[in-house]
Each structure stands twice: as structure tokens, then as C-alpha cells.
Structure 1
Amino acid sequence: MTITTPTPAALRAGQTRNLALATLAFCISFWAWNLIAPLGVRYAQDLDLSSTQKSVLVAIPIVVGSLGRILTGALTDRFGGRLMFPVLLVATAPFVVLVAVAGELGSYPMMLIVGFFLGIAGTTFAVGIPFVNAWYEPSKRGFATGIFGAGMGGTALSAFFTPRFVSWFGYVTTHVIIAIALVVVAALVWMFMHDSSGWQPNRAAVTPKLVAAVKLPITWQMSLLYAATFGGFVAFSTYLPTYLKDIYDFDLQAAGTRTAGFAVAAVIARPIGGVLSDRFGPRAITFISCAGAAVLAIWMITEPPLEIPAGINFVLMAACMGLGSGSVFAWVAQAAPPERVGSVTGIVGAAGGMGGFFPPMVMGATYNAAEHSYTIGLTLLVVFATGAALFTLFGIKRKPVPQSTV
């Protein structure tokens, strides 16, 4: 996405409306992306799934939602968010309905295939970041991307409402409602959203743009950090209902409620991470995020009792991951070349999503059913988060401070 510099008045004229629409589109798409996980316990019972099979099922939408961001980010540079958002929302709707069909048929293979394509919903993140960047001046991009990123609260809505919708309206009807919501939001976006006057389409071929983005050190540096922060959020959001069932014996709705609380805490923290990054720099906020997650994972290994100690642990973990998710993309907004923001966002977003794909797999594979213990998986989280914190401090070069001249 090529960005010129419009006047502040021209930017202010459409900032609030377009940021709100982008956040709404991101939110409903993330609800769809996380549609399987809140019902994971139900699917495990109905389909007689092992722990590993259950982990694969709840994690499979993350694959396309992550890797697909590489392509959608580059396409957003060319076509803009006003076109890309509705296209992706409409493309997701049929697969939401097909999830219900697969569940009704009791077909695990079909559920995996449909869940894979449900991941299209997760690619909207790579559309929104460059779209929002173009609407805001550099000093406010941490705030803007943080507000947009709060749309990941769609996972909280899914965790809280999806099990309840199934109870209130029925299993198939719930999926039809979400599919209709996707189409309605796509229509609203198409009618009322506009690309920034400072944006110009980058019509260069997609492959060279991606190659150029891959060659930027900031791309890989931010990919690692986003895998640790946002990846951790995605992993917990998808696997937490299962974790709460295994460790604390919660039923489906109780686990969904607490998972929604986890997601809400991360959603609130994400724009705060962006704002703090604008003020104090993204390096400091990212370090606090990763170091805090490592300490809290150690506490989690001890299986603190319900409700207060365990609840505090989960909320603080969510806050750390939300802060880091906001600070990393404030860092991208500051450090990525403006004409490469979409491509860099796609790659970094993919890394974050894939960072959320593997932990549920590891948690399922290392779960000690006899002792009801996730010690191995949580220990690996401690190691990874600690490594990310150290990399934040020592692995990324600071830009030299310009010398004043007399």
C-alpha cells in the first residue's frame, strides 16, 4: 500500500468512521474464525475425539488465517481495504454454514476440511493494519492500530455467546446467524468505508513485493515477537476451554465465560499497548509483555486454586499478551517502509497466527491425563517467552540518534 501525506484535516474527516468500520469487520471475522473452539468440548464428546484430535480440530482454522495473511496483506497494497474487507467476509460465510453441516453429519474429516477454509476469516487482520495506518499520522498509529486490534475481541464474543446461541437458538441456526452477520457487515463496509486520501494502490507484482518485505530485518524481528505475543493470545483463546475443562472441570458454558473474560482483558490491553508504545517506545512495552508472560506461566504451572488466584493469573496473562500485540504493531508502523506496510503486516500477522497454531498441538500432545497436568507445555511457554523478552532487549539494533549540528 503506497501512502502519500494528506493534510491533517483530510485525515480527520474520515478517521473515526473508517476505524470503527474496520474494527467491526475485524471483530465479526474473528468471531467466525474462532467458531469451532468454544464448542470443542462438545465436538470431542460427539465425535469421540482423542486429546490430540481435539487439539488439531480447534487449531486448524489458524493455518489459513495465518498463512493467508501473507497474500491478503500484499493484495491490500494493491486493492485497498474497502474492497478486501467485504470480499473476505463474504467468502467466509459459506464455510461457517458448512461447519454446522459437518457437525450435524458427525464427520471429523469434513470438519477439518471446512475448518481449514474457515481460516479465511482470520486473514482480515492483514487488511486492517495497512488500511488504518493510511488514515492516521505516524504519531497516532500506535493508538489507531491498537484500537483496530481490539477487534480481536471477536474471540471473546465467540467464546461467550457461541455456546449460549447454541442453547438458545439451536446448533445449525447459530451458524446461520453468524453467516448472515458476516454478509451484513460486508455490505456496510462496502457502502460506507473509504480508503484514505493518502493511499495510492501499489500495482507492483505481488511476488517481488513479498520478496522485498522478506528481505527487511524488521519483518523477521517483528514476526518472532508477534508469534510470542499475539500467538500466545490465539493459543490461549482456542485452547483455554479445553484447559479449563481438564484442569478445573468446568462445563462448556463456564469455560466459555472465563475464556471470554481472558479475551476481553487482552482486547482492552491491546490499544493500551499501542498508546504506551507511542509514548515510551514499543521496545519497552514488548519486553514487559514477554517477561510478564514468562513469570505468569511459571505461576500457572502451580495450578493456582479457583477462583481468585487462578482468575488473576489468567487476566494478567491476557493483559501481557494484549499489550505485546499492540506494541509489536506500533513497532511495525514506525519501522516498516510505508510502501511495504501491507506486505510486512501480512508476513508478521502470519507469524503471529502460526504462533497460535502450534501451542494447542503441543499442549494436547504433552497433556498428562493421569495427573491432569500441562506442566511440559507450560514450561515450553516459559522458555519461549523468556527468549522473546531477551531478544527484544538485545536482538534488535537501536537506531542511532542523529547528531545535532551547529
Structure 2
Amino acid sequence: MTTTGKASSANSAGAVPRPGATRNLVVATIGFTVNFWAWALLGPLGPGVKERLGLSFAAQSLLVAVPVIVGSLGRVPVGALTDRYGARIMFPLLSLATIVPVLTLTVVDSYPALIATGFFLGLGGTTFAIGVPLISGWYPPARKGFALGVFGIGTGGTAIANFTTVRLADTYGENTPFLLVAAILAGYAVLAFLLLRDPPGRTAPAGSALARTAEVSRLTVTWQLCFLYAVGFGGFVAFSVYLPAYLRTAYELSANDAALRTAGFVVLAVAARPVGGWLSDRLHPVPVLVWCFGGTAVFAIVQAFQPPLMPVATIALLAMAALLGAASGAVFALVGRVAPADKVGTVTGVVGAAGGLGGFVPPLIMGWVYGIEGSYTIGLMLLSDVALAAAVYTAVKMSRVDKKSNLVADTAPRRSLQA
């Protein structure tokens, strides 16, 4: 009797993932990686397009930025649609839709056409908002942080794009990267439809996607999570975008050396994401975020004084990569704890958009400050201030939010029994 009671208690506590959870996690992570690969195709080709079309640096930046901006903002409606229709429909659908702009890149060559194609290429970046509610539904709270961190490894699709796109184009022909990615997307769409399953017991919420987005935008916790993700993931995106230019200007590195060091930064940040989720499962997301943001603030101050590249600057930059990557994983472990269960997709869309957009503000500030001061010190000190503010805010406010959410969850079953 006692043994049965304990087993039942463990089950209700959600200590064990549901059967099929691992399969869905693997399939979703593959899909996220492939779609992110497609999303990032224009980035590595930007310098070549600039030279071929005689573009300015501003025009080249816009060309690369359009897919990222659309992929970030597009997470809001895609997250809401995922709440409504489920990941089994949305993942194959978005993967197939992304094939169209990928193949279009094989025939367009003018700047306006490339901008328009890049707009629709942003669809690949929205798949983040499909995977998070799917994984959240399959995994219990004790395993959710690590599972979402593993799913976040899919952001490494940008690294695949950077490592392979130019090399494939130079070796096998300029259209090879696009044809290869289109074929992989088509194969994945079939795989996802056959193997992905929405979590058992998932119910489609009532109302339109617009109404649900408006509803979650009225939740204070949505904007709190947006701020934390804009600092964590936004900081990672900012460094991955601006680090090559920073290394070339501050340390006079060659383009290839700066690119390789940036790739190392990206790989470490991506690898640290599941670690942040794993630590959040065992400790709690709040202390993990406090330490990650606090550590980022310290290392940003160190880097603000432009120390020697070896070893001090290298250690500082790689430490920030690990801390920002772990913070990104911890934020979505917190999303799984504090977001309403039937609105996880919609909340994920809004928070994911904030993270993507957060990555574009720091590079603009860094460039502006450098143009005025001829130094990156002020920009890095501002990063330190924002990270420190995020650490303090997390410690003071988010622990209260989590306790309140747990209190509601704990009292809900007792109310139903009394009724």
C-alpha cells in the first residue's frame, strides 16, 4: 500500500518523462537546427553579395538583418498558432514553407529581390516558438529545463551555415547550399509528420491567435521574461554578430582568425545552453540566472579595459559565451515554471521575439559609441550595467513570481477536491 502510494506520488509529481518524450525531443531539435541553418544562409554570403552588387555596409547589414528580424517577430504569431494547431502540424508546415525562399535564392540576384526573399527566409527562425511548447508538454518540471536546453542546441544551425555555405558554393557551385538545405527541409517535413506527436491531453485554446497574443501581453510575467531573455540570448546574438568586427578592430586580427574565434564563441554558448537548463532543474532557474548575469557583468568589465588577447581577453569572452548560453537555457526553464500551461506557445513566441530583437541593439550601440569615442570601453561597461541589473531583478522579483506560481499550482488540486 505504501509502495503504491509512493509510486503514485512520484508519478503525479512528474518525475519521469512520458513515453515518447525523447523521440519528440530529438525530432524537434533536428527540425530546429535545419530551419535555423536555412534562416542563416544569407549571413555568410553577405560579403560576396556586397562586392558583386557594390553595396554599402549599411545595405549589406540590412540584407543580413531582415531574416533575423522577421524570424524574431514572426515567433509571436507562430507561437500562438502552435498553441492552437499543435507542433505536429506547424513544424512540417513551416519547414515546407521555408523551402520556397531557399529555392528562390537560386534565381534572384538583384538587391530588392534578395531583400524580399530574406523576408520570407525569416520563417525558418520562427520554429523556436513551435518546439518550446511541444517539449514543455512532454517533459515534467524536474526534467523540463534540461530538455529545453537540448532543444536550444538547434541554434547551432547558424554555425553550420557559417561553416558550410561559402565552402559548398565555392566547391560545388553557387546554388549547392540552397538545393541541399531545401532537400533536407523537405525530408525533415516528412519525418516530422510521421514521428512528431503533440503531448497527450493537449487542448486547443479558444479564441484567435491575435486575441491570445493580446492576452499574454497583459501578463506581467511575459514582459519580465522578455527582459531576461533579451539580455541572455540577445547578448549571445549581439556577440555572434559583432564579435568579428570587434576582434578585427580592437586586436587587428585577420578576417579568418576573427571568424574562427567567433565560431568558437558560438559553439561554446550553444553547448552551455542545456547545461543552464540542467542546473535549473537541480538548483532552480533563479539562482542560475543570478550567477550567469552577475558573471557576465564581471567579465564585461574586464573586457572593457581591452586586456591582452591571450589569455585574458580570450578567457573573458569565452566565459561570457558560456554564461550567456547557460542563461538562455535557464530563462526557458523559468518559462516552463511560471507561464500558464495553455499559453506556453504564445508566451514563448513573445519572449523569443524579445531575445532575437535584443541582439540587435548592442551592436548598434557599440558601433555608435566607437564612432564617437574611438573605443569600445563605454559599450562594454553598458553591457555590464544591463547584466548586473538583470541579476538584481532576477534575485528580487522572479523568485517571488515563481513562488506565487507554485502556490497557485499547489492549491488548484485541493480546490477541485473540495468542490
With the shorter chain as reference, the TM-score category is 0.7 to 0.9
Decide which of 390, 409, 413 is 1:388's aligned counterpart.
Answer: 390
SS in structure 2 opposite 1:12? coil
SS at match of 2:398: coil
Displacement of 1:247 in angstroms is 3.9
**1:391 maps to amino acid:** Y
Residue 70 of structure 1 pairs with residue 72 of structure 2: no
CA-CA distance at 1:367 after TM superposition: 4.0
Partner of residue 325 from structure 1, selected from 316, 325, 328:
328
Tell me: CA distance 1:288–1:171, structure 2 relative to 1, closer, same or farther (3 Å): farther
Secondary structure in structure 2 of the residue aligned to 1:199:
coil
**Is 1:36 equivalent to 2:42 in the alignment?**
yes
Q: Which residue of 2 aligns with 1:21?
A: 27
Correspondence for 2:143? 140
1:313 lines up with 2:316 in the alignment: yes
Consecutive unaligned residues in structure 1, runs of 5 or more: none
Name the SS for the 1:212 alignment partner: helix
Work out whether 1:171 is the aligned partner of 2:174: yes
Is the 8 Å Cα contact of residues 11 and 196 (structure 1) preserved in structure 2?
A: no
Which amino acid in 2 is paired with 1:93? I
- Aligned with residue 117 of structure 1, among 120, 127, 133: 120
State the TM-score, normalized to the length of structure 1: 0.88
* Alpha-carbon distance in 2 for matches of 1:378, 1:164: 33
Verify the 8 A CA contact 1:153 1:267 in the aligned structure 2. Answer: yes
Residue 170 to residue 298, structure 1, CA distance change in 2 (3 Å): farther
Q: Paired residue for 2:246, among 234, 243, 246?
A: 243
Percent same amino acid at aligned positions?
A: 46
Give the corresponding residue for 1:217: 220
Which has more radius of gyration? 2
Distance 2:377 2:112 in 1: 30
C-alpha separation in 2, matches of 1:271 and 1:319: 11
Matches within 5 A, 1:1-400: 12-99=18-105, 101-102=107-108, 105=109, 107-250=110-253, 253-368=256-371, 373-396=375-398, 398=400, 399=403
- State the AA in 2 paired with 1:378: L
Q: CA 1:381/1:100 → structure 2, altered by over 3 Å: closer, same or farther?
A: farther
Shift of 1:182: 1.7
Assess if the C-alpha contact under 8 Å between 1:159 and 1:259 holds in 2. Answer: no
Contact 1:231 1:356 in 2 (8 A): yes
Aligned CA distance change for structure 1 residues 85 and 245 (closer, same or farther; 3 Å): farther
The answer for the alignment partner of 2:4 in structure 1 is none
Q: Quote the Cα distance in structure 2 between the aligned partners of 1:11 and 1:222.
A: 25
Cα distance change of structure 1 residues 292 and 109 upon mapping to structure 2, 3 Å threshold: farther
Task: Supply the AA of the counterpart residue of 2:40.
Answer: N
Per-residue deviation, 1:278? 1.2
Which SS does the other structure have where 1:200 is aligned? coil
User: Structure 2: how far apart are the matches of 1:87 and 1:234?
Assistant: 26
Deviations 1:92-139 (A, max 9, x none): 12222334544xx3x333333322222111111110000001111122
Q: Contact 2:286–2:399 at 8 Å: present in 1 too?
A: no
Q: Is the 8 A contact 2:17 2:143 kept in 1?
A: no
Q: Using CA pairs below 8 Å that are at least 6 residues apart, which structure has the higher relative contact order? A: 1
The size of the alignment, in residue pairs, is: 395
What SS does structure 1 have at the residue aligned with 2:278?
helix
Whether contact under 8 Å (1:58, 1:239) holds in the other structure is no
Deviations 1:214-241 (A, max 9, x none): 1222111000000000111122223333
Q: Secondary structure at the match of 1:201?
A: coil
Q: Distance in 1 between matches of 2:252 and 2:100?
A: 34
Q: Is the 8 A contact 1:38 1:238 kept in 2?
A: no
CA RMSD of aligned residues (A): 2.8
Instruction: Tell me the TM-score normalised to structure 2 length.
Output: 0.85
